[in-house]
Amino acid sequence: MANDETDSIILALTDNLMVAVRIEGAVQLLGYSIKFVEDSREIPVGDYLLYGDTSGENDLNQRGGLIDLISNYRPALIIFDLESRKIPWREWLPIIKSDSATRRYPVLCFGPHKNVDALTLARQLGAEKVVARSRFMKDMATVINKYAEVSNREEISGSCHERISDKALQGIELFNKGAYFDAHEYLEEAWFKDTSMGRELYRAILQIAVAYMHIEKHNFDGAVKMFWRVRQWIEPLPSTCRGVDVETLRTDSREAYNTLVALGRDGITEFELSMLKPVLCKSP
Write down the pLDDT at residue 225: 93
> Is the pLDDT at 116 greater than 50, yes or no?
yes
Q: Is residue 181 part of a domain?
A: yes
Predicted confidence (pLDDT) per residue in 23-74, tens digit: 999 999 999 999 999 999 888 765 555 544 444 444 445 788 899 999 999 9
Q: Is residue 282 part of a domain?
A: no
Shared-domain flag, residues 131 and 200: no
Shared-domain flag, residues 142 and 181: no
Is residue 177 packed enough to be buried (19+ CB in 10 Å), middle (13-18) or exposed (0-12)? exposed
Write down the pLDDT at residue 150: 87
Which of 112, 147, 182 delimits the end of a domain? Answer: 147
> Is the pLDDT at 147 greater than 70, yes or no?
yes
Report the percent of the chain where pLDDT is more than 90.
Answer: 82
Residue range 90-116: mean pLDDT, rounded: 95
Which of 147, 166, 189 delimits the end of a domain? Answer: 147
Report the percent of the chain where pLDDT is more than 70.
Answer: 91
Domain around 39: 9-147
Shared-domain flag, residues 143 and 161: no
- What three-state secondary structure class fits 7? coil
Shared-domain flag, residues 24 and 136: yes
* CATH number of the domain to which 43 belongs: 3.40.50.2300
Shared-domain flag, residues 143 and 169: no
Which of 96, 123, 147 delimits the end of a domain? Answer: 147
Write down the pLDDT at residue 5: 44
Shared-domain flag, residues 120 and 244: no
Write down the pLDDT at residue 46: 59
Instruction: State the Cα–Cα distance between residues 105 and 156, nearest whole angstrom.
Output: 18
Write down the pLDDT at residue 50: 52
Shared-domain flag, residues 46 and 172: no
Strands of the 129-132 sheet, one edge to the other: 33-37, 9-13, 77-81, 107-111, 129-132
> Is the pLDDT at 204 greater than 60, yes or no?
yes
Residue range 113-118: mean pLDDT, rounded: 95
Shared-domain flag, residues 231 and 171: yes
Instruction: State the Cα–Cα distance between residues 111 and 123, nearest whole angstrom.
Output: 12
Q: Is residue 283 part of a domain?
A: no
Q: For residue 81, which phi and psi values (nearest 5 degrees)? A: -90, 110
DSSP state of 107: E
CA–chain centroid gap for 114, Å, is: 33
Taking residue 161's Cβ as centre, other Cβ atoms within 10 Å add up to 12
Instruction: State the Cα–Cα distance between residues 127 and 270, nearest whole angstrom.
Output: 41
